[in-house]
Amino acid sequence: MNIVITGASKGIGKAIATAFAAEGHNLFLCARNEVDLYHTVAELQVKFPDIAINALAADVSDKAANKKFGDWVLNKAGSVDVLINNAGQFLPGSVYNEAEGLLEQMIAVNLYSAYHLTRHLLPGMMAVKHGHIFNLCSIASLQAYTNGGSYSISKFALMGFSKNLRDEMKPHNIKVTAVYPGAVMTASWGNFDNSHQRIMEASDIATMIITAAKLSPQAVVEDIVIRPQLGDL
């Protein structure tokens, strides 16, 4: 299968890419940081020399760059089997005092990136009545929390996009899954000491996604809510 993953250079995106590569699928990856992206590609190519790993540096929060990446995918892949809208950013704040422009930034990174790329790749999926779209939401999509601010707002919007898309794509046999992770050990947690395994590993999210992608054509996991065993922090 041809797997498209945004924000694939590190964290959850890299873990998802690794999981699909291990299954022998062809990858089409992007990330904003070109150096990190190609380090990831090189690492994956050493581990999985028999698959095609394609990558293009792109900031999918920018509409023009998003379209360029989408065109590149279609030219390279021809068809897309799985699209994983993973690109995202967390910046803390509260609605009443966060920096001017933060809402626009969070909406662009966490919502528009998925919206525009999905719209660009959907016609091909609809033509063959096949495909699976995963949107990386967050537990911040489900409930408000302290210092969530515009990040949480953008993730609520991504949940709404996922639910509408799921309903619209039913007649076209295209699956849509919204993923709601709790705390995951990624760069967002900085120097957090996870030696006691208080929060999840990125590979946990990847395992859930690749498992959902393997179901029969008549089955879909609509929502994946996954939290640390001891609960949210």
Active site residues: 151
Cα–Cα distance, 135 to 118 (Å, whole number): 10
Cα–Cα distance, 138 to 103 (Å, whole number): 17
Task: Count CB atoms within 10 A of the CB of residue 130.
Answer: 17
Strand order in the sheet with 82-85: 53-57, 26-31, 2-5, 82-85, 132-136, 175-181, 223-226
Cα–Cα distance, 34 to 161 (Å, whole number): 28
- Residue ranges of E strands in 9-93: 26-31, 53-57, 82-85
